[in-house]
Chain A
Amino acid sequence: KQEVTQIPAALSVPEGENLVLNCSFTDSAIYNLQWFRQDPGKGLTSLLLIQSSQREQTSGRLNASLDKSSGRSTLYIAASQPGDSATYLCAVMDRGSTLGRLYFGRGTQLTVWP
């Protein structure tokens, strides 16, 4: 069964720092990996989707990389801002599922202080 782990569980940094959030998964047979943002009590906002054949994706200040063979992904946030404060979730779409079941990590709770 696919297990997704995210490290660290929480991170508190001053504004302007560059950050790296880590995600690991146990089974490399995936279709893709998706990073989400979740604000307290709210839904899931998709940030980046990396297909299994890709190595990285970029959107603005966000860059996500994928090393499928080692079962790892990182989300790099450049020049962090207080508005980036949220929980960041990593999810993998397992090849063993019929229609694309997502397995989520517990998330990294990020606080960026001014």
Chain B
Amino acid sequence: EPEVTQTPSHQVTQMGQEVILRCVPISNHLYFYWYRQILGQKVEFLVSFYNNEISEKSEIFDDQFSVERPDGSNFTLKIRSTKLEDSAMYFCASSPRARAYEQYFGPGTRLTVT
């Protein structure tokens, strides 16, 4: 069964460094999402993406964050200058259709900022 994959599974970085988290959505899906979960907290929406454009972003997704679909298979989340509070599990999700359809989640990337 097709799956969403994410790399790396764990990334450790120093405060102020740039990180890129990578996702490979399910191949025929057109809608892509990033969520994050700080340890012990709720899973929170960051951004949704369709047709090479951001569709919606939350208040968390500030100018330090960006997303890109650099080719036909990858979907990336970049954090330009990481802060300690960016430490979290980041989940990518994809969906074949918008709105009423199920979102399929990847296994997550654990980001640790020291």
Contact = CB atoms under 8 A, between A and B. Distances in A.
The B interface, classified by DSSP as helix, strand, loop or mixed, is strand
A88 interface: no
B48 A101 contact: yes
A63 interface: no
B42 A105 contact: yes
Contacts, number: 74
Interface size class of chain B, counting residues whose CB lies under 8 Å from the partner chain: 20 to 34
Contacts of A104: 42-44
Interface residues of A, number: 29
B45 interface: yes
A61 interface: no
Interface string B26-44: 0000010101000001111
Given A99-B48, A100-B48, A93 B105 contact: no
Interface in B12-56: 31, 33, 35, 41-45, 48, 50, 55-56
B40 to A, nearest CB: 9
B56 A44 contact: no
Given A95-B99, A99-B99, A102-B43, 12 more contacts: A32-B100, A34-B103, A36-B105, A43-B107, A99-B55, A99-B56, A100-B48, A100-B95, A100-B101, A101-B33, A102-B45, A104-B42
